Amino acid sequence: MTDTKRLMDRVGRIGLVLSLGLALVPLWPGPGANAALPLRIIIKLRAELSSPSTPTGHPSLDATLAHVGVQDMAPLFDLSSGDAALKQSLGLEHIYLLTLPASSDLETALATLAANPLVAYAEPDYIGYGAGAPNDQWFPYQWSLHNTGQSGGEVGADVDILAAWEVTTGLTSTLLAVIDTGVDLDHPDLATKVVAGYDFANSDADPQDDHGHGTHVSGIAGAITNNGVGMASVCPACRLMPLKALNSDNWGYYSWWIAAIEYAVDNGAHVINMSMGGSDYSQPLRDAVRYAYNADVPIVVSMMNDGNDTMYYPAAYTETIAVGATDRYDDRWSFSNYGSHIDLVAPGAAILSTKWDDTYVIWDGTSMAAPHVAGVLGLVHGLRPGFTVKELRAVLKVTSEDQVGPANEDKKGWDQYFGWGRLNAAQAVRYVVPPAGVTLNGPTTGLASSDYTFVATVSPTTATQPLTYTWQASGQAPVVHSGGLSDTVTFNWAVSDTHTVTVSAVNFGGAVSGSHTIAVWAPTPGAVITVCRSGGCHFDTIQDAVDFAVDGVIIRVATGVYTDVNTQGGLAQVVYVDKSVVIQGGYDLDFAAPLNPDAHPTTLDAQGAGRALYITGNVSPTIEGLNITGGDAAGLKGGLG
C-alpha cells in the first residue's frame, strides 16, 4: 500500500471513529510497576519435598532459601485439578514460586539458588505486557470479517466470515479462554457469553476488566452476534472464559500467565487466546504451554508490535500459534512483528470491538489479530472436537490465503512476514467437514479375465477437496487415488466368485465408505456361453466368446449376420478357432427355442476381407448351424470360405 493510501486510510479511520462516537485510545500504556513490589523468583527442584513450603525437609535447600530471604514458597502448578498424570510427566509438580523482600538483590538471589544441587533452575518471575452479515449495528464497519471496500479497503481482504457461518457459527459448548486484562462482565454484547473465570492479578474470582484490552480482544473472538446491536464476532456461539493475568496497567507476571494457562486447561477451555508477550524466555512458562499442548488445547498468541523480528514469549515457543497483523489492504500492519516463529497473519489494524465502558472502540495491534484466529479455532472445534493441536495447526497452514500481501514480503509458501498466509475462516471450516456420503456404481455380473470399472461419487457437501480414495477388492491389491468429488478404478478377476468392492473417501475432516458386489463367472468344460447382436448375452462377437472359452465349452450363437473381421494368428477372418469348442448357430434371440438353423439363420460373412472361419490344425472344434460365406479361400490352410 502506498504512503498516500496509508494516510487516507488513517484519515478515514479517524472519520469513522468520529462518526460512530467512538474514541481512539492508546493500547500500550506504561507498566506503572511499583518499585516496592516483592521480588518474585521461580525455581524447579530436582527432588520431592516432604512439604510444599518452608521448611522443605531438605536441610541444604532450607539453608539456601533462608540465606536469600525467602518469605513465601508455593507450588506454581496445582496437581489436585486437571490431568495430574500429565502434569507429573512434565515435571510440573517440582516448580515453585518464591517471594523475597523488595530490597533483595535479584542477581545474587538467582546465583545462590542455582548453586544449590537440588535446584534445577532459578529464574525471575518475568513481566510481560498486553500487545496492544448479521443485523448487528456496527457490522458494516467490521472490515476484518467482511471487507466490501468500505473506507477504501481492498474487497475480500478479510477472513471470509459470512461463508464460514454458512457452515457453522460454533457451539455453545466450546469455551474460548481469554487470558488478558479481564472482560467487562456487564457489556451488552458480552455479558451472556461469559462463564466463570478468575483474576490472577488480584487473586480473586472477579475478572472484571480495569484496563480495556481484554474486553476488546474478547469481543473479536466471541461477542454476541446477530442481536441487532453492537458488533459481530468470529465465533458467535462460543462462550468466553475471562482469565485476568494483566493488571490495570496492562502488565503481568509470568506466574500469573502460567496459572491462567493451567486454569484454562483444567477447567475445560478448548482454545486459549493470549494477546500479550514478554521478551524473556521462561522455562516454567514453556512448561505451562507444553501442558496445554499435550492436553490438545491450542494457545493463540500475538506476535507483538515493534515492527521488527524481536521474539516475544509465549509466541516464540514452537507449541503456540503465533499471529501477526494485516490491514484492510492485505498489507502487513506496519508495527506487526515478524520472524522465524510466525505461523500466520490475521486482520489487526483498525479493528472495531467492545470497550470496557459498555461501548465500542477501534484499536490496532497483533492483539486484535490473535482473537480472529482463536475464534476460527473455536468454529473448527465445534466441527471436529477431537482434533489435536498438531491437526489444528495443519488446518490453519493449509487453509490460510497465501500471497495476498506485497510480493516482496508474502512469498509462496511460508515466509517470515505472513507465515503460511492470511487467515481464511471459510476455508478452515470447510476443510474439516467430512464428505456427506459416497455412492459406488459398477456392474453386478461379469466374466472372468475382463476389465470392470467402478465409479465412486461423493455426495454434495461443503467439504473442501482434495479427497483420498482407497479401493479394495477380494483378490486385488489396494488402489489409492487422490482426486475430486468422483473417482474410478478398474479390476479384473480370473476365477469365478462373488467379489466385494469397497471404497473409502477421506478428507481432513473424516471418511465415508461404500461397497458393491459383482458376480464373476469363469467357464469350465460343458458350460454354455451365448452370443448375440441384440445385447443381453455374454458376448456380441463369436471371436470374443472363443477367446474367453476353454476346451469343451459350448458357444451358442443367436440368429444374425456376423462380419467382425480380426487378424488373430496373423490371418484375416471373422472367427479364429484355436480351441476344441462347440459353436452352434441357429438360435433365436432369447435362446428359448431349440437349435433351428432354418428358422434362425446364423451367418459368418467375411465380405471378401478374409476367411469367414479359420481353424488351426491342432484343435478339434465342432461347428454346427453356421452359414459360411464371403471368404477368400486362397492360401489359408485350414480355413473355411
Name the active-site residue from 180, 199, 331, 402.
180
- Give whole-number Cα distances, 409 to 113, 159, 334, 609, in Å: 46, 19, 12, 72
CA gap 479, 489 in Å, rounded = 8
On whether the CB atoms of residues 185 and 199 are closer than 8 A, the answer is no
- String of b and e for 327-355 (b: at least 16 CB within 10 Å)? bbbbbbbebbbbbebbbbbbbbbbbbbbb
The yes-or-no answer on residue 213 being catalytic is yes
Name the active-site residue from 58, 146, 211, 213.
213
Query: Residue 306, Cα to own-chain centre: how many angstroms?
Result: 31
Name the active-site residue from 367, 372, 381, 538.
367
On whether the CB atoms of residues 157 and 328 are closer than 8 A, the answer is yes
Sheet with 467-473, strands from edge to edge, namely 445-447, 510-521, 497-507, 467-473, 479-483
The yes-or-no answer on residue 180 being catalytic is yes
Which residues have CB under 8 Å from 547's CB, separation 6+?
none
Provide DSSP, 178-231: EEES-B-TT-TTTGGGB---EETTTTBS--B-SSSHHHHHHHHHH---SSSSS-
Query: Residue 81, Cα to own-chain centre: how many angstroms?
Result: 30
The yes-or-no answer on residue 632 being catalytic is no
Can you name the residues that pair with 605 across neighbouring β-strands?
629
CA gap 502, 438 in Å, rounded = 11
Instruction: Cite the active site residues.
Output: 180, 213, 367
